[in-house]
Amino acid sequence: MTEEVCCDLLEQHLKVSAQVLQSDDWTFQQTKHTSKHVKRWLIENHQIRVLQWPVQNPDPNPIETLDDSEDSSAKEKSSKH
């Protein structure tokens, strides 16, 4: 889906959904499209609050990565002696 198509869909459906809520107190949870163009459309052009996602970590389990690096360090130290 291109940025333009995403913005068109938001224009057609998000505004209608917001009107159904009959409230100004809501936050949009953005999913896949995180392009600057879409963010600008949401925040700057339409003042829509967007849920901030945490930074994406490439490793879903950082503890395992830490354990692996500790194991590697221990193996290196033992092989030097």
pLDDT score for 66: 60
Burial group, residue 3, by CB count within 10 angstroms (0-12, 13-18, 19+): middle
| Domain count of the fold of the chain | 1
pLDDT score for 25: 82
pLDDT score for 71: 57
Tell whether pTM > 0.85: no
Q: Residue 15 — φ and ψ, nearest 5°?
A: -60, -40
pLDDT digits (tens, 9 = 90+) for 29-38: 876 666 888 8
Range(s) of the domain holding residue 70:
3-80
Record the tokens describing residue 16, joined without a space.
């209608």
pLDDT digits (tens, 9 = 90+) for 17-30: 888 887 778 888 87
pLDDT score for 26: 82
SS3 letters across 13-67:
HHHHHHHHHCCCCCCECCCCCCCHHHHHHHHHHCCCCECCCCCCCCCCCHHHHHH
